[in-house]
Structure 1
Amino acid sequence: MKVLVIGATGYIGSAVAAAFARSGHEVATLSRRRRLGERHGDAGGRTGGERGRWIVEGDLEDPPSLVAAARGFDRVVHAGPPLGERADLAAVDALLAAGSPLIHTTGAAVLGGGTADEDSAADPHPIVAWRAEAERRVLDAGGQVVRPGMVYGEGGGLVAGLLAAKAAERGAGVYIGEPGVRWPVVHVADLAALYLLVALHAAPGTVWHGMSETVRLDEVAAALGGGRAVSWPLAEARTELGGLADLFTRDQDVSSDRTRHVLGWSPTRPSLLAYLRDGG
């Protein structure tokens, strides 16, 4: 397949692009400008890349450029960064207008608290409230939606960034609010494998869950803090993190059973706690 990966320089997108390339697919990546020394491409804005990769000129905040960039691909994978309601919805509309089958990334935050599965109605956290509408537009157009849990592994994500930094700063792992809050999580390599399965086997207009397990955030904090974890009061965390702090208090146990059964997705990387115990 010819696959355009949006966000290929980011944490999830880079792993997705690598997974498609390893499987023999032709991978293009989106860039706002042509890099020095690269030859001009065709009329669609494609330029030559390294090692069989292609760079396509386009900007997530410039919808007409996205329409031109995304035309003619067998799949477009949108794993780019969130930019806010107006920009994100306009980008989705532009990618759908291009006519190439779209795989769009949202996340567990689009679901409510408690138990949920692939059939659960969206109940998004206010910090990403518009993602439910983005999902609806993608699904109505026959695209697919991937909802990852909190992504870890290979030195990236909130675990290696925010949570590890707070543990180092305070001399103990930190969790926000009360203990016992659960979150779904997934290793970035397992998540990348899921995108490939969705591209190859998923029916149009379907939702898939990239959550390999559910963990307690206070246990994650303890693993990061050498066995010691303390609560970061919500009001205090809000002053630094804004609305993201409230997201850390939303208890979720999200199933990926249908994704595993239908697509044969079988995560193989270490669990998050094992990963942290081994020095991840």
Structure 2
Amino acid sequence: MKVFVTGASGFVGSAVVKDLLENGHQVLGLARSEESAQALEKAGAKVHRGNIEDLESLKSGVSQADAVIHTAFNHDFSRYKLSCDEDRQIIAALGEAIGNSGKPLVVTSGVGLLSLGRIVTEDDSVPSSEIVPRAASEEAAIALQQKGVNCYILRLPPSTHGIGDHGFVAMVADMARKAGESVYVGDGQNRWPAAHRFDAASMYRLIVEKQPQQKIFHAVAEQGVAFGEIAKSIGKELDLPVVSQDKASAEAHFGWFLHFASIDCPASSEKSSATLGWQPKHIGLLDDLNSGDYF
């Protein structure tokens, strides 16, 4: 199968590319820069020059592939809502190009959009994008499904981890470095689901290979890791004191990130694992953070 991958040189996307190639597929990777193109060529993928703002370049990529995996997202949080609205348009364009061809499209969302006071499952719906802007991606995917497009939603956990991480854990570590202390909120028992990026990558592949009836999947290897334990691992590895703060005090430390630092969003992948035969094989989050190579 030839798979068109957006975000192909990114932290998750590059893992998807590697996994696809190792399992006998061809990859057409979207590349904006020469650096990204060279990284894809070195990995063994074919390069499709373009970017996620150029919807025609996306449609061209779709036309050359048997399946599409969309991992790209603009993570400039100073324009977060705009990035979410743009992702809605990108998903709509990918779906338009696929039409009724039956080609599978896998789009990326997050289990962190759901904080329900219990373990979240694949059957739970995200709030409206008017409340949670990032939900725009799932709304776009559902709109495509209603038009008959073979579209799937993969929800990543707040920590999709691995060496080279520049996601949420890396942000928390950077804040700790700048403040000279690693902070958690309250008793630190709020939980983040987690998965190694290579385990998440294999789920994307299994979806396009199996194309099951189920449409929403959770790439969750660990249902919930206490944020306080994450903060302690960061403090240990960076040789910084670890401090509990109440929400009011923690706002000065985390700023806009306070919501994520205090969210409790445990999630299950039981249904996803049963449908796909997915079995996480890689190191857990805390062991990864404590490996000595993470930061």
Q: Same fold (TM over 0.5)?
A: yes
CA contact (8 A) 1:75 1:102 kept: yes
C-alpha separation between the residues in 1 aligned to 2:186 and 2:140? 30
Aligned-pair CA distance for 1:197: 1.1
CA contact (8 A) 1:171 1:225 kept: no
In the alignment, is residue 161 of structure 1 matched against residue 160 of structure 2?
no
C-alpha separation between the residues in 2 aligned to 1:272 and 1:237? 23
Aligned-pair CA distance for 1:236: 5.9
The structure where helix makes up a greater share of residues is 2
Residues 101-116 of structure 1 aligned to structure 2 (within 5 Å): 101-114=104-117, 115-116=119-120
Aligned-pair CA distance for 1:57: 2.7
Question: Which secondary structure state, in structure 2, belongs to the residue aligned with residue 118 of structure 1?
Answer: coil
In structure 2, give the amino acid aligned to 1:258: K
Q: Decide which moves more: 174-183 or 1-10.
A: 174-183
Question: Which secondary structure state, in structure 1, belongs to the residue aligned with residue 8 of structure 2?
Answer: coil
Aligned-pair CA distance for 1:160: 5.2
C-alpha separation between the residues in 2 aligned to 1:237 and 1:158? 20
CA contact (8 A) 2:73 2:87 kept: no
CA contact (8 A) 2:126 2:135 kept: no
Q: Which runs of 5+ in 2 are unaligned?
A: 75-81
Percent identical among aligned pairs is 30
Give the length in aligned residue pairs: 269
C-alpha separation between the residues in 2 aligned to 1:63 and 1:161? 31
Q: Decide which moves more: 245-254 or 197-206.
A: 197-206
Q: Decide which moves more: 74-83 or 200-209.
A: 200-209
What is the match of residue 220 of structure 1?
Answer: 230
C-alpha separation between the residues in 2 aligned to 1:72 and 1:23? 20
Residues 1-280 of structure 1 aligned to structure 2 (within 5 Å): 1-32=1-32, 35=34, 49=41, 52-82=44-74, 84-99=83-98, 100-114=103-117, 115-123=119-127, 126-140=132-146, 141-149=149-157, 150-158=159-167, 161-176=170-185, 179-204=188-213, 206-213=215-222, 214-226=224-236, 228-231=241-244, 234-235=247-248, 238=251, 243-279=256-292, 280=294
C-alpha separation between the residues in 2 aligned to 1:51 and 1:185? 26
Aligned-pair CA distance for 1:52: 4.5
Question: Which secondary structure state, in structure 2, belongs to the residue aligned with residue 89 of structure 1?
Answer: helix
Question: Which secondary structure state, in structure 1, belongs to the residue aligned with residue 280 of structure 2?
Answer: coil
Cα deviation 1:140-162 (Å, max 9, x = unaligned): 32211111112111221436521
C-alpha separation between the residues in 2 aligned to 1:20 and 1:210? 16
Cα deviation 1:14-73 (Å, max 9, x = unaligned): 11011101112111111246x49x9xxxxxxxxx94564211133211223322221131
CA contact (8 A) 2:107 2:137 kept: no
CA contact (8 A) 1:30 1:59 kept: yes
TM-score when normalising by structure 1: 0.85
Aligned-pair CA distance for 1:93: 0.7
Q: Pairwise CA RMSD of aligned residues?
A: 2.7
Q: Which runs of 5+ in 1 are unaligned?
A: 39-47
In structure 2, give the amino acid aligned to 1:102: L
C-alpha separation between the residues in 1 aligned to 2:268 and 2:190? 16
C-alpha separation between the residues in 1 aligned to 2:49 and 2:124? 37
Q: Decide which moves more: 235-244 or 16-25.
A: 235-244
Aligned-pair CA distance for 1:271: 1.4
Aligned-pair CA distance for 1:204: 5.0
Cα deviation 1:77-120 (Å, max 9, x = unaligned): 00002461331111001101111421111111232332210111
In structure 2, give the amino acid aligned to 1:31: A
